[in-house]
Amino acid sequence: MLAIAHSELVQILRNRAVLVTNLVMPVLASAFFIYNRDAFAQLGSLGYVAAVIVFTIGAFSLYTTAVTTLAARRQDLFLKRLRSTTAGDQAILSGLVLPVSAIALVQVGVILAVFAAVGGGPANPALLVVAIVASFTMLLALAMATAGLTRSPEHAQVTTLPLSLGTIAVANWVGITGTESLTLVKRLLPGGAATELVMDTWNGGVPVTESLALLGPTFAWVVVAVALATRMFRWEPGR
C-alpha cells in the first residue's frame, strides 16, 4: 500500500493541473474567507467560516482530486495492472487515496490553525477533529462512488460538480440560517449535520452530547456512499 501511495504522490506533484485546480485554488478560497472573516461572521458566525473552509477543502482538495485520480488510473489501466499483483483491492484503493487524504488533512489543519490565530480558536478542538475526520470520510466514500460514474479525468470535471458545489452550498445555507427551521431537512442533507457540528465545536455553547448526535447523519452518509461505491466502482474502462 505504501509503495502505491508513494507512486501516486509523485504523480500528483507532477500534475500541474491537479495542483492548481484541486489543491491551490481551495487554499486561496480559504484565505479569502479568513481575510474577510469579520464580514462573513456577521452573516453567520466564526464557526460558519470554519465550516466553509472545511468543506471547501474537502470538496475540492479531497473529493474532486480523489475522483480524478481514480478515473485516471482506471483509464490508463493502472488499476487493472495492480489487481494482477499480490495487493488486495482494499490495499490498492487505500494506497491511491492516501496521498490525497493526507494532503487535504494537512491543508485543513494549517488553514484552521491560521484562522484560529487571527480570529480566535475553537471551543472544543478535540470534537472539531472528530467532525473533520467524519466529514472527510464521508467525502472520500462519496468520491469512490462518484468515480464509478466517471469515464475519464476530464469527465470528472462534470461528475464532481453536483456534490462538490452542493456540499458547499449546504454548508453556507446551514451556516447562515442555522437549524432552527427545517432542522431535519438540513441535517439529513450531505454535509448538513457535519456543518452544524463544526460550528458547534468552534462557537461553543452547545452540550457535547447534542453535538455528538450530529455524527449520526454523517456516518449514515458514509454507509450509503460505501454501499454505492461497492456496487458502482469499476476497475476497468467500459465495464
66 in any annotated domain: yes
- Asked if residue 139 lies in contact with residue 229, where contact means CB atoms within 8 angstroms, the answer is no
83 in any annotated domain: yes
Give Cα 122 to chain centroid, integer Å: 20
129 in any annotated domain: yes
148-168 pLDDT, tens digit each: 888 888 888 899 999 999 999
Lowest-confidence pick of 4-18, 163-177, 208-222: 4-18
Question: Count of domains in the chain?
Answer: 1
124-145 pLDDT, tens digit each: 999 999 999 999 999 999 999 9
Mean pLDDT of 78-104: 85
237 in any annotated domain: no
pLDDT of residue 238: 63
Mean pLDDT of the chain: 88
238 in any annotated domain: no
Of the candidates 224, 182, 229, 218, the one whose C-alpha atom is nearest the C-alpha of residue 58 is 218
43-75 pLDDT, tens digit each: 888 999 999 999 999 999 999 999 998 998 888
Of the candidates 214, 235, 228, 70, the one whose C-alpha atom is nearest the C-alpha of residue 152 is 70
**Quick one: DSSP state of residue 85?**
S
- Asked if residue 40 lies in contact with residue 202, where contact means CB atoms within 8 angstroms, the answer is no
pLDDT of residue 58: 93
239 in any annotated domain: no
53 in any annotated domain: yes
- Whether residue 239 is predicted with pLDDT greater than 60 in this model: the reply is no
Domain that holds residue 156: 2-232
